[in-house]
């Protein structure tokens, strides 16, 4: 009997529990069903492959069994590892205070990730939007526990008041707001590096405002116009700097002093992509070398005389002398060293001069004389062609073929202290080939740039291939180029140039997209082609010929044939000596003296 009462009591308790469950279950099911529809809608708007759930147990956890998607649950609100998933992620947060992420790398990785927050308490959307905006996280949507009844979704917006927008899920509108498509006149802090021609800063005469042009400055100007923002130039004098260099701007970006630097920092200076944007330029880092001077005219004669050709001519002289001596008498009696080396007919014939022709010559002698005359025509024509060509356009002095050859030339390599530090830190093998004695290091970055831009031919300069294009355009107005780019003498043939950005810039993705679109439509190439003309318009460059070409005389000077005159005087002196020895019968006296001694 007691057992029956126990069974009856348990049966009644089960009935009461079932009735209670039937009352609350439809509410939970409706909420789960509506949230599941929201998640499916979010997947249609922007596909996600991973779910990240912050906070303790809430309605989001019960939804996971309906979603066949990899999920990471962080009940403590913060991860102890760096988020390395490359897939698109959706963050679900159980409560306004559930997400307490402290890992800086994870925060950067998930900064733009969409967040859906379930408000279990009476938290106001305005305070939550303020909280997330301080962390520069702006893709925020919120639903309350009464979502299944109200169908209201709250989305944060950054540049308007109030800072959130209430919408209804059934209105078929995007849930998240792209806040930075219109910044409503908000400023973007920047610092221009004033590196001509990519960034040229000037004062507008009409408005007095500070403006900038150049292929990098134009990119920044158009980006601000696209976002309906304004560029704010930071006063660098308050930071203790008169003219900012690349290191200064990069450090200010790391310190969050500026948003986007109107500057380019090379891949040799930075590691990682936290404080730089997508590469803006891909170029090389090579040497700009002065064009070698033309050889003076008095050295042209030595240039056209080659030792191998002289050896061939000497062999021909000996061969023709031997043949002429033998064919005249058909014997070797007159074959002596003096007759071979100083044969009158052979020597005159090879020089293209006339010589006495022997009477009644044989057929063999005629053939030898014919070949001799043909050889003289070829030799004299060849040297005449070389002489006239070199006098018309003299050859240049030797070119620099390797980095180690710089020490053999008078010009030193002018380089800034910043570039020396970068190349030294990278242990660049080409830079180590240059001796310190042949380096001119400038601590003042501005002074170094001014000297390079003035095309001072006393030095060699390292330069990016991109910057060289402007010098190349300028030298088209020169009668002769002053510099040439040694494309085979490069410290780095593949170097990226990036724009400095602060680490948590919320519209980084829009900036990178804007930059790539400009390249895609050819605007960057067009602006670069107009760089020199823009510099001329702003009086930063001129079309004046700076090549310092030497004045060409209308006729040869005495100094131009100085080597020929010296050789001629030497030959006359040798002839006079031989003549004096001959008339004094020095040979006979030497023979008599030799016989007496024997």
DSSP single-letter state for residue 68: -
Q: Name the residue among 277, 232, 336 with its Cα closest to residue 511.
A: 277
Dump the DSSP string for 203-243: E-TTT--EEEESHHHHHHHHHHHHTT-EEEE--GGGGT-SS
Distance of CA 453 to the CA centre of its chain: 18
Cα separation of 145 and 506, whole Å?
A: 30
Instruction: Find out whether 245 and 201 touch, Cβ atoms under 8 Å.
Output: no
Question: Which stretches of 356-448 are assigned E, i.e. beta strand?
Answer: 412-416, 439-442
Cα separation of 226 and 444, whole Å?
A: 37
Interstrand relation of 483-498 and 200-203 (parallel, antiparallel or unpaired): unpaired
Q: Name the residue among 92, 97, 85, 111 with its Cα closest to residue 36.
A: 92
CB atoms closer than 10 angstroms to residue 316:
18
Interstrand relation of 412-416 and 439-442 (parallel, antiparallel or unpaired): parallel
Strand order in the sheet with 152-156: 71-74, 50-54, 89-94, 114-119, 140-144, 152-156, 164-168
Q: At what angle do helices 508-520 and 215-226 cross, to 10 degrees?
A: 120
The predicted model scores a pTM of: 0.74
User: Residue 310: enclosing H or E segment and its boundaries?
Assistant: helix 307-329
Question: Which stretches of 406-458 are assigned E, i.e. beta strand?
Answer: 412-416, 439-442
Q: Name the residue among 365, 327, 325, 369 with its Cα closest to residue 348.
A: 369
Instruction: Find out whether 75 and 55 touch, Cβ atoms under 8 Å.
Output: yes
Question: In this structure, which topology does domain 30-177 adopt according to CATH?
Answer: Rossmann fold (3.40.50)
DSSP single-letter state for residue 333: T
Question: Which stretches of 382-530 are assigned E, i.e. beta strand?
Answer: 412-416, 439-442, 459-464, 483-498
Distance of CA 35 to the CA centre of its chain: 50
Tell me the sheet residues that pair with 137: none
Q: Name the residue among 35, 40, 113 with its Cα closest to residue 72.
A: 113
* Residues ≥6 apart with Cβ < 8 Å to 164: 125, 126, 129, 142, 154, 155, 156, 157
Enumerate the domain spans of the chain.
Answer: 30-177, 297-392, 558-597
Distance of CA 313 to the CA centre of its chain: 53
Q: Name the residue among 112, 148, 381, 409 with its Cα closest to residue 289.
A: 409
Instruction: Measure CA of the first residue to CA of the last residue in the chain; give whole Å.
Output: 167
Distance of CA 360 to the CA centre of its chain: 79
Per-residue pLDDT of the chain (598 residues; tens, 9 = 90+): 443 433 333 344 444 443 443 343 456 678 888 888 889 888 888 889 899 999 888 888 888 888 888 899 998 888 887 887 777 899 999 988 889 888 888 888 889 899 999 988 778 899 999 999 999 999 999 998 888 888 889 999 988 889 899 888 877 788 898 889 899 899 999 999 888 889 999 888 888 888 899 999 999 999 999 999 999 999 998 888 888 888 899 999 999 999 999 999 988 788 778 899 999 998 899 999 998 888 777 777 777 777 888 888 888 888 888 888 888 777 777 777 777 887 888 888 888 888 777 777 788 888 888 888 888 888 888 888 888 887 777 788 888 888 988 888 888 999 999 889 889 988 889 999 998 889 999 988 888 988 998 888 899 999 988 889 889 888 888 888 889 999 889 998 888 899 999 999 999 999 999 999 999 999 999 999 888 888 888 888 888 877 766 555 566 666 667 777 888 888 889 888 877 877 777 767 777 777 777 6
* Residues ≥6 apart with Cβ < 8 Å to 201: 192, 194, 210, 211, 212, 217
Distance of CA 323 to the CA centre of its chain: 67
- CB burial class (10 A; 0-12, 13-18, 19+) of residue 98? buried
Instruction: Find out whether 534 and 474 touch, Cβ atoms under 8 Å.
Output: no
pLDDT at residue number 598? 63
DSSP single-letter state for residue 362: -
221, 222, 223, 224 alpha-carbon torsion, rounded to 10°: 60
What SS3 state is found at 595? helix
Q: Which residues of 538-550 are buried (b: 16+ CB within 10 A; e: fewer)?
A: eeebeeeeebeee
User: Residue 94: enclosing H or E segment and its boundaries?
Assistant: strand 89-94
pLDDT at residue number 502? 93
CA distances from 22 to 9, 13, 17, 65, 478 (A): 20, 14, 9, 21, 93
348, 354, 357, 363 alpha-carbon torsion, rounded to 10°: 80
Instruction: Find out whether 508 and 441 touch, Cβ atoms under 8 Å.
Output: no
252-257, long-range: CB < 8 A, 24+ apart: 252/191, 252/500, 253/500, 253/501, 253/502, 253/503, 254/502, 254/503, 256/502, 256/503, 256/504, 257/189
């Amino acid at each position: 009997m007691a057992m029956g009462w126990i069974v009856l009591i348990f049966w009644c308790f089960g009935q009461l529990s079932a009735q209670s469950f039937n009352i609350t279950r439809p509410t939970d099911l409706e909420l789960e069903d509506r949230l599941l529809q929201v998640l499916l809608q979010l997947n249609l708007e922007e596909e996600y492959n991973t779910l990240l759930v912050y906070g303790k147990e809430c309605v989001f956890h019960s939804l996971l069994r309906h979603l066949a998607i990899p999920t990471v649950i962080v009940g403590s609100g913060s991860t102890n590892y760096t988020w390395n998933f490359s897939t698109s992620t959706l963050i679900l947060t159980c409560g306004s205070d559930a997400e307490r992420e402290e890992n800086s790398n994870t925060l950067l990785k998930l900064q733009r990730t969409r967040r859906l927050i379930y408000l279990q308490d009476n938290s106001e959307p305005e305070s939550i939007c303020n909280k997330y905006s301080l962390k520069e996280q702006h893709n925020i949507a919120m639903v309350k526990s009464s979502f299944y009844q109200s169908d209201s979704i709250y989305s944060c917006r950054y540049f308007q008041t109030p800072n959130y927008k209430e919408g209804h899920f059934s209105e078929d509108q995007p849930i998240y707001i792209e806040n930075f498509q219109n910044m409503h006149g908000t400023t973007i802090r920047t610092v221009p590096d004033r590196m001509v021609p990519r960034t040229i800063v000037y004062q507008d005469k009409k408005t007095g405002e500070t403006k900038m042009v150049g292929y990098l400055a134009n990119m920044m100007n158009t980006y601000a116009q696209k976002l309906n923002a304004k560029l704010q130039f930071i006063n660098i004098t308050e930071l203790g700097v008169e003219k900012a260099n690349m290191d200064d701007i990069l450090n200010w970006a790391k310190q969050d002093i500026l948003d986007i630097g109107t500057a380019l920092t090379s891949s040799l200076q930075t590691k990682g992509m936290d404080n730089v944007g997508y590469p803006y330029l891909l170029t090389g880092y090579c040497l700009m070398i002065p064009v070698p001077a033309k050889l003076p005219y008095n050295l042209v004669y030595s240039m056209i005389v080659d030792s191998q050709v002289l050896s061939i001519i000497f062999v021909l002289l000996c061969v023709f002398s031997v043949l002429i001596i033998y064919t005249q008498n058909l014997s070797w009696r007159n074959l002596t060293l003096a007759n071979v080396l100083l044969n009158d007919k052979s020597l005159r014939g090879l020089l293209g001069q006339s010589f006495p022709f022997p009477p009644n010559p044989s057929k063999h002698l005629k053939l030898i004389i014919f070949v001799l005359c043909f050889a003289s025509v070829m030799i004299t024509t060849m040297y005449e062609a070389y002489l006239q060509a070199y006098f018309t356009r003299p050859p240049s002095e030797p070119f620099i073929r390797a980095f180690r050859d710089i020490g053999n030339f008078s010009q030193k390599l002018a380089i800034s202290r910043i570039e020396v530090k970068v190349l030294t830190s990278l242990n660049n093998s080409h830079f180590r080939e240059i001796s310190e004695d042949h380096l001119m290091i400038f601590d003042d970055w501005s002074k170094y740039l001014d000297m390079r831009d003035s095309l001072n031919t006393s030095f060699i300069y390292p330069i990016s291939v991109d910057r060289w294009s402007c010098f190349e355009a300028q030298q088209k107005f020169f009668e002769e180029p002053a510099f040439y780019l040694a494309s085979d003498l490069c410290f780095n043939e593949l170097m990226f140039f990036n724009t400095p950005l602060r680490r948590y810039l919320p519209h980084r993705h829009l900036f990178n997209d804007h930059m790539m679109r400009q390249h895609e439509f050819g605007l960057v190439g067009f602006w670069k082609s107009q760089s020199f003309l823009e510099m001329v318009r702003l009086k930063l460059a001129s079309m004046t010929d700076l090549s310092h070409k030497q004045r060409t005389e209308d006729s040869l000077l005495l100094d131009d044939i100085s080597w020929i005159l010296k050789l001629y005087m030497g030959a006359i002196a040798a002839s006079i000596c031989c003549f004096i020895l001959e008339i004094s019968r020095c040979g006979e006296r030497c023979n008599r003296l030799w016989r007496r001694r024997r």
